[in-house]
Amino acid sequence: MTTKTILLAATLLAGVALPAAAFAQDFNPDATIRIGSLYEPQNLDNTAGAGQGINEAFNGNVYEALFQLTDAGSVEPKLVESYEASEDGLTYTFTLKAGVTFHSGEPLTAADVKYSIERVTAEQSKSSRKRSLSTITGIETPDDRTLVITLSARSISLPYNLSYVWVVNDAATDITAAEDGTGPYSLAEWRRGSALALERFDGYWGEPASNGEVIYTYFTDATALNNALLTNAVDIITSVQSPDSLAQFSGNPAFTVTEGASTTKELLAYNDRVAPFDNVQVRKALARATDKARLLNSIWGDYGTLIGSFVPPTDPWYVDLTGVDAYDVDSAKALLAEAGYADGFEFTLDTPDYDPHPIVAQFLQAEYAKIGVTVNINVITANEWYTKIYQERNFEATLQEHVNHRDIVFYGNPDFYWGYNNPEVVKLIADAEAAGSEAEQVEKLTQANRIIADDAAGNWLYLYPQIVVSAANVTGYPVNGLNSQFFAYDIEKAE
């Protein structure tokens, strides 16, 4: 009995002491961190349609902005020392940090920042935040460290929106294949189709990175990526995309599994311009005919969250709207009948060919059959999605994962691909942007959020979980997947 107790106590002690020892153990400051990812960037420029992969690899690591969206979701100054807004909110004066240099060795000047903002707002820019910065009417640079931005209307989220503007040296050329940023790492090598290597930048203005080198290795297949971690070919998987592969890692002391908040929403988007989706009752009926809890369980097992709207809990204007148009097949049928579709209707669902969209489409097909609605699944590639749906708006309904943070503002744009046009929401979102205080902004956007949910503007199926798996000797990585950014500079590796 006594022996048993002692043994138990010893085991408990060891259990507590071991991880502490692991943390206390000196990490190698020059370690190479090997990150496995499924998202290879198309190019290296976030204004040239490079995809989420470039955000993951470069944001905060290679490029920095005036402000930074932290892993916790707050906006903090980065390259800005201080800033002030005029009384009317139409003029912002920014003072840049001193002693910041680009990787090329040139010092950061206000002219570089002006150039960088203009790259995002330029006509050929494909930045998702281009429209948010459209209120900028003038940028002046009275001296090398001062930047004055004038606006046509108040814009309370200007600092937030500026966190999307990578500051690039204005003398840099061809930044789709090279870089010149101010971040803690510079680009060492990019092998297209396989890997992207970053090395610590010795002339960094801030705290140097906790590791010497970061290599992003790209996989096209999740199983191969999992195997790479199992065989110690990578140290971290940035975003696990299936709960079933976790069985190999959870419960195994050689690995750490974390679940954080993501901003990725699985959306059944209707083309609200075309019949029958221009009818609110039809959209509400489909929302009520969707057993989202069951769908989430099918795709993610016990992970993920139902949100009932387009706003995830990490956005300041989140409210739980899962109660709006909750699952109720009978009332769905009644609504359809009221809308004049008692016998149902038929529509084509353009479905991207990668997981989880095809399986989600089959789920919806089976669900909507119960209310007499026939879904024809048309599988398309990601490129086809971009041209057919995003550009040409030639669709009835589609599935898409929306990764952006604070993207409810898309519903304030009647020209967006889904064509939702409610003047009240457009006004609320514009007013929120012109708000004098954050409280007022939050209030307006919360109201807008409730209206789009009541209008069933889209069918927000679920919020992805953000699951990171790493080898146990690696710590300090970001656990949330906001905008799919992945800051690598605090990662420590014990060896």
Residues of the shown chain interacting with another protein in the complex, contacts defined by CB under 8 A: 222-223, 242, 244-245, 247-248, 294, 297-299, 301, 353, 355, 358-359, 361-363, 365-366, 369, 377-379
Distance CA 381, CA 394 (A): 15
Alpha carbon distance 448, 316 (integer Å): 13
Q: Which residue lies nearer to another protein by CB, 132 or 290?
A: 290
**Using omega within 30 degrees of 0 as the cis cutoff, is the peptide bond preceding 358 cis?**
no
Cβ partners under 8 Å of residue 330, min gap 6: none
Of the pair 150, 365, the CB lying nearest another protein is at: 365
Nearer to another protein by C-beta: 27 or 363? 363
What proportions of the chain, in percent to the nearest 5, are helix, strand and coil? 30, 25, 45
Peptide bond into 276 cis (omega under 30): yes
Helix axes 292-300, 357-369, angle to 10 degrees: 150
**Distance in angstroms (rounded) separating the CA atoms of residues 412 and 428:** 8
Residues 458-479: b if buried by 16+ CB within 10 A, e if exposed: bbbbbbbbbbbbbbebbbbbbe
Distance CA 435, CA 443 (A): 10
Nearest one of 220, 221, 222 to 245, comparing CA atoms:
222
With beta carbons less than 8 A apart as the criterion, state whether 226 and 447 touch.
no
Q: Nearest approach, Cβ of 297 to another protein (angstroms)?
A: 6
Residue 148 burial (CB < 10 Å; 0-12/13-18/19+)? middle
CB of residue 247 to another protein, shortest distance in Å: 5
Q: Minimal distance in Å, beta carbon 133 to another protein?
A: 38
101 with 182: CB under 8 angstroms? yes
For the chain, the residue count is: 495
Residue 127 has which token pair?
A: 């930045």
* Structural element, H or E, at residue 338: helix 329-338
CB-wise, 242 or 322, nearer to another protein?
242
Apex 310 CA angle, 309 and 311, nearest 5: 95
